[in-house]
Amino acid sequence: MGLNDLQIYQLAMTLGEQVWFVVNKWDYFAKDTVGKQVVRSVDSVAANISEGFGRYHYKENINFCYIARGSLLETRTWLDKARRRSLVGDDQYNQFDKDINTLGVKLNNYLKTLGKKASDSGYKAEEPGIFYENSQMSIDWDKVFQTHNDEK
């Protein structure tokens, strides 16, 4: 399965394009203040989903999905501000709200699936303790610092 097959990615991309289409019609001041913020936050949702997907590690994917979820909620905040400032009408806002809710539920379900896969894999990020033992290693620190000072 590729990134483009991932339903949450498709939904996030579509939401981003819908927000862009609406914001693009606003006047300069509205675009420069609220518009840039809402476009950045909504675009960040898809961007973080794709970055997590590309990491190929469950735990990293989970972290990027948490960031995507935060960006999704930030998007809702900016759209709330847009509605309060009469930049989007109630019908448009309600559609965005419905789409955000749908994506949020699906993103949470995806996170649950990733969490289960991460715990089922038995993967533990551990470093071998031997790496830090220096009992068989002798370092002449005076020589190290002397070489460093000679380079200056």
Chain segment 31-63, per-residue pLDDT in tens: 999 999 999 999 999 999 999 999 989 999 999
Cα Rg for the chain, rounded, in angstroms?
23
Q: Which residues contact 39 (CB under 8 A, 6 or more apart)?
A: 16, 19, 20, 23
CATH class, domain 3-127, is: mainly alpha
- Please report, for the chain, the start and end positions of each structural domain, with discontinuous segments joined by +: 3-127
CB atoms within 10 A of CB 88: 23
Task: Indicate whether 29 pLDDT > 70.
Answer: yes
Report pLDDT for 117: 86
